Amino acid sequence: MDEARKWLGRGKDVAAAGRMAGLFSDLEADLLHAALSAGSPALTYFRLAERYTLKARLSRQMRSKLLLPIVVFVLVYLYGRWKRRSGKVLFNGLRGRG
């Protein structure tokens, strides 16, 4: 944000300042530039906000759904290391004898 403020202080428009500061992709900056040229960027700001809100929600959902498999994987990995170090076996496994 400080970088964008610096570019705004140098006379750049919001789209160019955001692009130079790394806040916006090229497509987003072009959309904002077109909206600023047309007169009112409010609708573009609103749509970009909706897009980022959706991306943030989907990212949170994905992380929460991946939490249990990651925990199980870590526990199995730690159990395997513990079993090899201590020589103790809690389960005989699924292999049959003979």
Q: Dump the DSSP string for 41-68.
A: -HHHHHHHHHHHHHHHHHHHHHHHHHHH
Cα(1)–Cα(6) distance, rounded to whole angstroms? 9
Using one digit for the tens of pLDDT, what is the confidence trace for 27-76? 888 888 888 888 888 888 888 889 889 999 999 999 989 989 999 999 99
pTM (two decimals)? 0.54
The pLDDT confidence band at residue 98, using thresholds 50, 70 and 90, is: very low
Residue 28 · residue 18 · CB < 8 Å:
yes
Nearest residue to 36 via CA among 28, 22, 3: 28
